[in-house]
Each structure stands twice: as structure tokens, then as C-alpha cells.
């Protein structure tokens, strides 16, 4: 018998504070069919639960948690025809904010039920020379922002949420940043932060990549130069004003394939969808037709109408 599997992370910020939310979510989603609650039992368990749900005949899988939980569930569903729905339960909820589901779980559930449609989308994939691979729906961050993720105080994060990331970021003031080689379309440059994004939204507060959507079969890459973290103060101002691509030391380009490798023996971390995923070297590529995602129809319509779309996506750089 088909059913909806609601995979939730009981340790996600909002769910930890409100342990009855999964039961409430089951009520909100009941119009879509029988809802089976499936809690994760620890880190890196959501993917296996998603694969099991699909194998057991789930008609829909809904991930309820932060972006990390959603990433794990998505990794368990790549290549499946079963639609994935998402509900916000974590700190940043980037994908929920991006698609217009919002950060309120009840409102998001109602939009999922009444105003969303299944859309086949591409996913990003990181591959390392040792054979490690992982998919991502939102973004990969290489260098500076992954270092911030690495240094976030988890106790502060539990109490202050996204503020913990700003605290960690400003704690890097005047620090010398690890450098790495960024190779795109046969050209190599030295960088300290590269954003490989599938969405406009960054962290729920900013837009760095401004010319891409989940419906596009490519990334938008935003690559930053600079050994000293103080270089990022004007970059941050440029992001806030929507002018980051016009700043010296920043390059913006579409891509379907790129590679990054360390220099000078530096250990350069990588984050995928807000969670640490190891260190360079790594290759990042687009996987077309990877996943069916339930997306609000309003987002789908807006993404299809973007004036830059035809120019930007007809020949993404390889």
C-alpha cells in the first residue's frame, strides 16, 4: 500500500525544542495520504531510511529537518522517480526559503499539499580521487565558508541559530586564508572561496549567486580572490548591494563541471548544503534529471520567466 514517509531529524533545532512537531506535521500532510513517521537515529542515517521508504512503496518522501537532513534524504533518493517534499526544521532552511515554502513548518506543509508540483531537477555531485562521492541540491562552498562551518560552535548554534555562523565568520578577521586552484573551462586561477550554487539564496539572508534556479541544468560559480580575510569586507558590501560580480577579484560564470585542488599543502574544507564534506581535491559536476522535488508552482513559474535564463543556460561553461 502506497503511503507518505515523513523522515524527520528529532535533533534538528526546531524539532528538538518542539518534539510534538512531527505528529503535527503528519496531520498537516494527511491530505496527501497515510503518513508514516520515520525518525532518524543519528548522523548519516536519513539516506538509508529514504532508500528503505522507496523500496517499501512510499508514494512520497518528505524530509523534515535542516538542510543537512534534506541533503541526506536526497542522497538516498537520487535516480528515484518518487517525489521528495521538504519541511523546515533546522537553522537556515535554505532550500525551503529558496522555493518559497518558508520557515514556518505548518505554512510550508500547507503549501506542499495545495500549491506544489513535482518537478524533475538536476543535482550537483562532488567526487574525490579516493572514490568518495556525494550529491547536493543547494550549493557547495569551498574554502572560506566551509571553514566557517567547520569552526561554528555547536553550543552557540543550538541557542542562537544562524547568529553562530556570523560569530564564527567575524572570528576569522585578519586571518590568512588557505589558497586553492580553481579550474573552469581550461583556465586555472588561485582562490580562497568558491561558491558552486544551484540557488540564489545563501544562508537564508543573502543572495550571492543571482542568475540560477533549481530548474537550470547548471551551476552558477562565484569565485573570490584574497589571502587575507579583510579582503572580504568589500565583497560582503558588494553582495549586500547585488553588485558582487562587478568587484575586482570576483568572477561569476555558469558551469556544469569544475575542479578544485589545494596548493602549498593547505587543507581546504568543502561544505555541501551547509554540512562539512571533507577536503580538496575534488571535482564538481551537474547530474541532470537526478531527482523529483515537490516545488511551489509560484517558484516554478518565476524561474521559467527569468529574463537572463536563455542567455545564461544555453551554453554553460565546462
Cell 563541471, located at residue: 257
Q: What is the CATH number of domain 125-289+307-313?
A: 2.60.200.40
Query: How many angstroms separate the CA atoms of 118 and 32, rounded?
Result: 13
Residue 265 in grid coordinates: 599543502
Q: What is the mean pLDDT of residues 71-80?
A: 98
User: Domain locations in the chain?
Assistant: 3-114, 125-289+307-313
- Express each pLDDT in 271-292 by its tens digit: 999 899 999 999 999 999 999 9
Q: What is the residue-averaged pLDDT of the chain? A: 89
Is the pTM higher than 0.85? The answer reads yes
> Who has greater pLDDT, 130 or 205?
130
Distance of CA 136 to the CA centre of its chain: 6
Per-residue CA distances from 241 to 207, 238, 244 (Å): 10, 5, 8
Cell of 258: 569544475
For residue 121, pLDDT beyond 50: yes
State whether residue 260 is helix, strand or coil. strand
pLDDT of residue 278: 95
Q: C-alpha cell of 281?
A: 581535491
Q: Return the higher-pLDDT residue of 14 and 165.
A: 14
The length of the chain is 318
Q: Does domain 3-114 have CATH number 3.40.50.10330?
A: yes
Lowest-confidence segment of 11-15, 100-104, 150-154 by average pLDDT: 150-154
The three-point CA angle 78-79-83 to 5° equals 75
Give the pLDDT confidence score for residue 233 in this predicted structure.
Answer: 83
* Alpha-carbon torsion (215, 147, 239, 247), positive or negative: negative
pLDDT of 156 > 80? The answer is: no
Compute the Cα dihedral for 166, 172, 176, 179 and give only its sign: negative
pLDDT at 232 over 50: yes
CB 244, CB 119: distance < 8 Å: no
DSSP string spanning 161-205? Answer: TTHHHHHHHHTTTTPBPP-EEEEETTEEEEESEEEEESSSEETTT
316 band by pLDDT with thresholds 50, 70 and 90: low
Amino acid at each position: 500500500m502506497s503511503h507518505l514517509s515523513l523522515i524527520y531529524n528529532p535533533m534538528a533545532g526546531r524539532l528538538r525544542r518542539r518534539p510534538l512537531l512531527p505528529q503535527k506535521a503528519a496531520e498537516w500532510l494527511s491530505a496527501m495520504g497515510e503518513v508514516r513517521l520515520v525518525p532518524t537515529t543519528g548522523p548519516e542515517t536519513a539516506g538509508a531510511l529514504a532508500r528503505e521508504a522507496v523500496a517499501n512503496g512510499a508514494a512520497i518522501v518528505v524530509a523534515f529537518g535542516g538542510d543537512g537532513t534534506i541533503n541526506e534524504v536526497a542522497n538516498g533518493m537520487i535516480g528515484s522517480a518518487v517525489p521528495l517534499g521538504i519541511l523546515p526544521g533546522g537553522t537556515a532552511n535554505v532550500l525551503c526559503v529558496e522555493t518559497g515554502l518558508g520557515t514556518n513548518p505548518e505554512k510550508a506543509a500547507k503549501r506542499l499539499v495545495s500549491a506544489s508540483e513535482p518537478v524533475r531537477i538536476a543535482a550537483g555531485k562532488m567526487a574525490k580521487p579516493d572514490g568518495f562521492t556525494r550529491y547536493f541540491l543547494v550549493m557547495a562552498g569551498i574554502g572560506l565558508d566551509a571553514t566557517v562551518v567547520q569552526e561554528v560552535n555547536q553550543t552557540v548554534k543550538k541557542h542562537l541559530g544562524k547568529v553562530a555562523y556570523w560569530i564564527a565568520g567575524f572570528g576569522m578577521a585578519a586571518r590568512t586564508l588557505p589558497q586553492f586552484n580553481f579550474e573552469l573551462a581550461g583556465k586555472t586561477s588561485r582562490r580562497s572561496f568558491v561558491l558552486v550554487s544551484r540557488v540564489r539564496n545563501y544562508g537564508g539572508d543573502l543572495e550571492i549567486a543571482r542568475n540560477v534556479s533549481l530548474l537550470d541544468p547548471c551551476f552558477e560559480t562565484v569565485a573570490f580572490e584574497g589571502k587575507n580575510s579583510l579582503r572580504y569586507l568589500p565583497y560582503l558590501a558588494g553582495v549586500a548591494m547585488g553588485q558582487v560580480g562587478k568587484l575586482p577579484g570576483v568572477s561569476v560564470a555558469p558551469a556544469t563541471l569544475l575542479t578544485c585542488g589545494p596548493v602549498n599543502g593547505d587543507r581546504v574544507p568543502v561544505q555541501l548544503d551547509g554540512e562539512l564534506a571533507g577536503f580538496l581535491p575534488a571535482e564538481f559536476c551537474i547530474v541532470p534529471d537526478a531527482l523529483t522535488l515537490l516545488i511551489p508552482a509560484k517558484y516554478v513559474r518565476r524561474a521559467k520567466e527569468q529574463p537572463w535564463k536563455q542567455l545564461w543556460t544555453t551554453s554553460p561553461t565546462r
